[in-house]
């Protein structure tokens, strides 16, 4: 392991066997790193058999630590990533109604995003704008960017306490309404690489039929509103706090604090011209005070960190306990994802 990391001995880590070594980057800070110890698990066949034997242990470690990273194992290609995630239950809805322009690669494996390399993504819980969301999310660095591009993470287990009782009580009592905008039906997703509001609704919902979009929305508690230019706004009523199904911990799950949604500042022309700008709002139609937005963002920043990624790294996060984002990058980058139940 790298210098400065603390070795962690636990019943779960020991259950992984003698073929691995484990550590935390810092005590109590996700994720939990697992690497080969010796040569046995550097063999692809042995590694695949090992993951099948210890998958229940890996799942328990994801819950306990908020996420794991498998590093140094024989996982150079998409097929190797797929072999791992195929052992875990899939998120039934997939990326239906998602916001980021991304395409399916193979099976359950998708692109991370096609957003421009210059765009940094703030930390967030995947699909926090939906009632239905993946409980876990997996990342695979097939090609690590030479400059930047790290997948950042934030330990959301600290958020509720650090936000403070008064702010938590205010948000919880009012609830959240969200509005998401999709562009008219398009042949490509190119225009959405910089502005996600231009992502065609046909790509987001994987259908060319408005009737089918409305049926999909109705089944998921969403409210669609069509506009004269063929674009679409989808509304949802959301709970900003959820109890973790395994740990019972109360967790914040919202994009209410994101600067372009929580304040009056609208950062693109398309949002300025929208009757219903993309974002999340308090259920009373109020917005957070600027100081409240700044405070929540400071909490996020305080709990966010990153590290140098390597080709072949596989990270699986508990999507409620640990948020993720992306640093801007230069050069070629190929990071793939999968949404898991």
Q: What pLDDT digit, counting tens, does each position of 150-178 carry?
A: 999 999 999 999 999 999 999 999 999 99
d(CA 98, CA 112): 12
Q: Which of 1-5, 256-260, 283-287, 330-334 has the lowest mean pLDDT?
A: 1-5
Q: How are strands ordered across the β-sheet holding 6-7? A: 6-7, 20-24, 32-36, 67-70, 314-318, 136-143, 334-340, 109-111, 104-106
Pair 241, 114 in one domain = no
Pair 144, 167 in one domain = no
| Whether residue 286 has pLDDT greater than 80 | no
pLDDT more than 70, % of the chain: 91
Q: What is the CATH number of the domain that holds 189?
A: 3.60.130.10
Pair 217, 287 in one domain = yes
> 294 — phi, psi (to 5°)?
-60, -40
- 140 lies in a domain? yes
- Average the pLDDT over 321-341 and give the result: 97
Pair 184, 246 in one domain = yes
CA distances from 165 to 154, 169, 282, 322 (A): 20, 6, 17, 21
Which residue is associated with the tokens 């259920």? Answer: 283
d(CA 335, CA 312): 10
| Whether residue 283 has pLDDT greater than 90 | no
Q: Which residues contact 256 (CB under 8 A, 6 or more apart)?
A: 171, 176, 240, 262, 280, 281, 282, 288, 296
> 174 — phi, psi (to 5°)?
-90, -25
Q: How many CB atoms lie within 10 A of CB 239?
A: 11
Pair 182, 288 in one domain = yes
Q: How many CB atoms lie within 10 A of CB 193?
A: 18
- What per-residue confidence (pLDDT) applies to 150? 97
Pair 336, 260 in one domain = no
Mean pLDDT across the chain, nearest whole number?
Answer: 90
Rg (CA), the chain: 20
- 194 lies in a domain? yes
- Average the pLDDT over 292-305 and give the result: 96
Q: Which of 44-53, 103-112, 318-327 has the lowest mean pLDDT?
A: 103-112
- What per-residue confidence (pLDDT) applies to 278? 86
- 104 lies in a domain? no
- 41 lies in a domain? yes
pLDDT digits (tens, 9 = 90+) for 58-102: 999 999 999 999 999 999 999 999 999 999 999 999 899 998 888
d(CA 281, CA 68): 33
| Whether residue 305 has pLDDT greater than 80 | yes
- 1 lies in a domain? no
Q: Which domain holds residue 279?
A: 158-300
Find out whether 94 and 339 touch, Cβ atoms under 8 Å. Answer: yes
φ/ψ bin of 135: left (φ > 0), alpha (ψ from -120 to 50), beta (otherwise): alpha
pLDDT more than 90, % of the chain: 76
pLDDT band at 10 (very low <50, low <70, confident <90, very high): low
Pair 234, 312 in one domain = no
- What per-residue confidence (pLDDT) applies to 259? 54
Find out whether 83 and 114 touch, Cβ atoms under 8 Å. Answer: no
- What per-residue confidence (pLDDT) applies to 191? 66
pTM reported for the whole predicted model: 0.91
d(CA 117, CA 327): 9
| Whether residue 308 has pLDDT greater than 80 | yes
- What per-residue confidence (pLDDT) applies to 2? 40
> 303 — phi, psi (to 5°)?
-105, 5
Pair 13, 139 in one domain = yes
- What per-residue confidence (pLDDT) applies to 5? 45
Alpha helix (H) ranges present in 116-186?
159-163, 165-174
- Average the pLDDT over 286-301 and give the result: 92
- What per-residue confidence (pLDDT) applies to 234? 96
- Average the pLDDT over 182-196 and give the result: 82
Q: Which residues contact 321 (CB under 8 A, 6 or more apart)?
A: 30, 63, 66, 67, 155, 156, 157, 244, 247, 249, 251
Pair 29, 145 in one domain = yes
d(CA 267, CA 45): 50
- 288 lies in a domain? yes
- 102 lies in a domain? no
- 195 lies in a domain? yes
Q: Which of 230, 254, 39 is nearest to 167 (CA)?
A: 254
- What per-residue confidence (pLDDT) applies to 301? 96
Length of the chain: 341
Pair 194, 88 in one domain = no
| Whether residue 8 has pLDDT greater than 60 | no
Domain count for the chain, please give it.
2
């Amino acid at each position: 392991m790298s210098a400065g990391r603390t070795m962690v001995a636990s019943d779960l880590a020991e259950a992984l066997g003698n073929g691995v070594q484990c550590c935390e980057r810092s005590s109590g800070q996700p994720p939990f790193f697992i690497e080969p110890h010796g040569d046995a698990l550097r063999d692809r066949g042995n590694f695949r058999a090992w993951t099948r034997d210890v998958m229940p242990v890996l799942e328990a470690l994801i819950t306990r630590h908020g996420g794991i990273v498998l590093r140094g194992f024989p996982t150079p290609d998409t097929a190797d990533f797929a072999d791992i995630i195929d052992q875990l239950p899939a998120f039934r809805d997939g990326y239906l109604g998602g916001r980021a322009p991304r395409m399916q690669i193979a099976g359950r494996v998708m692109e991370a995003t096609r957003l421009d390399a210059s765009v940094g993504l703030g930390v967030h819980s995947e699909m926090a704008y939906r009632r239905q969301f993946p409980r876990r999310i997996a990342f695979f660095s097939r090609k690590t960017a030479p400059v930047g591009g790290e997948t950042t993470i934030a330990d959301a287990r600290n958020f509720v306490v650090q936000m403070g009782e008064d702010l938590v009580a205010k948000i919880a009592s009012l609830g959240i309404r969200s509005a998401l905008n999709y562009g008219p039906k398009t042949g490509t997703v190119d225009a959405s690489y910089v502005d996600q509001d231009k992502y065609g609704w046909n790509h987001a919902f994987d259908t060319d039929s408005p009737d089918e979009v409305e049926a999909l929305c109705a089944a998921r508690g969403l409210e669609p509103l069509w506009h004269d230019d063929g674009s679409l706004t989808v509304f949802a009523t959301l709970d900003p706090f959820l109890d973790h199904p395994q740990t019972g911990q109360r967790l914040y799950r919202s994009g209410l604090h994101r600067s372009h949604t929580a304040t009056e500042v609208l950062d693109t022309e398309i949002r300025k011209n929208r009757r219903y700008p993309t974002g999340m709002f308090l259920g009373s139609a109020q917005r957070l005070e600027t100081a409240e937005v700044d405070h929540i963002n400071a909490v996020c920043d305080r709990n966010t960190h990153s590290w140098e990624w390597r080709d072949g790294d596989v990270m699986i996060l508990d999507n409620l306990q640990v948020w993720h984002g992306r640093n801007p990058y230069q050069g070629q980058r190929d990071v793939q994802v999968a949404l898991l139940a």
